[in-house]
Amino acid sequence: MAIVVVGGHSRSVGKTSVAAAVIARLPEMHWTAFKITQFGHGFCTANGEPCDCQTDEHTVAFSEERNAATGTDSARFLAAGAMRSFWVRARIGNLAAAMPRLRKELAAAENAIVESNSIMGFLQPDIYLSVLDHATADFKDSARLFLDRADALLVRAGSEELAPQWRGVSLKLAEGIPRFAIAPPEYMTDAVIAFVQDRLAMIVSEDASSRPEP
């Protein structure tokens, strides 16, 4: 089984579109998809709505999307061709509580794609794609923490010629990492898909070579 993680440094930079595009372009992988959302205080993990829950209530919620037409991010994964799709919600700092169920679903998957940065603290994926936009100043701590582990950087076209607007982020973290320009509405290119396919082929080859001879 291969695990692909798609992260990004801020909201609305194209993470969900990238994950959906990988699913759509590689249907033979029979993906199980996961959207992970972390909420701060004042929001309920059960539905993402504002609430007055106590700190130790509603810390984790895990639901399977079954309707590809709802317009949610997890529904977009189904619409793109995922075999199954899940939305995982956790309060900030409580993602570990979701890992037992998440690992169970990963074990049952043929291949998995996960939209999240923070999951990198719990899993060692086969491919980690980080989506960046030089024109967006916000940079999540989780994206900064794992930036140097990215296998490829997907930079929003039109922004790659700009000096990054990020504060407190060392560009040395991204040195030597392959870069690909992506643009809406597809947020995907043949070059990115070829990169992912090559990495997945390497994984299959390594798995085959590590198996003991009969």
Tens digit of each residue's pLDDT (9 = 90 or more) over 18-45: 999 999 999 999 999 999 998 754 444 4
| 84 vs 1, higher pLDDT | 84
Architecture per CATH, domain 3-199, reads as: 3-Layer(aba) Sandwich (3.40)
Whether the per-residue pLDDT at 46 is higher than 90: the answer is no
Report the distance separating Cα 7 and Cα 178, nearest Å.
15
Q: Tell how strand 179-182 and strand 127-132 pair up.
A: unpaired
What pLDDT is attached to residue 214? 54
CA atoms within 13 A on the CB side of 174: 20
Report the distance separating Cα 22 and Cα 87, nearest Å.
18
Tens digit of each residue's pLDDT (9 = 90 or more) over 140-194: 999 999 999 999 999 999 877 778 889 889 889 999 999 999 999 999 999 999 9
What pLDDT is attached to residue 43? 43
Report the distance separating Cα 7 and Cα 68, nearest Å.
22
Q: Strands of 3-8's sheet, edge to edge?
A: 60-65, 84-91, 31-39, 111-115, 3-8, 127-132, 152-156, 179-182
Whether the per-residue pLDDT at 196 is higher than 90: the answer is yes
Whether the per-residue pLDDT at 126 is higher than 50: the answer is yes
CA quadruple 103, 63, 26, 188: dihedral positive or negative?
A: negative
Distance of CA 163 to CAs 37, 57, 137, 140, 159, Å?
A: 29, 43, 11, 18, 8
* pTM score, whole prediction: 0.88
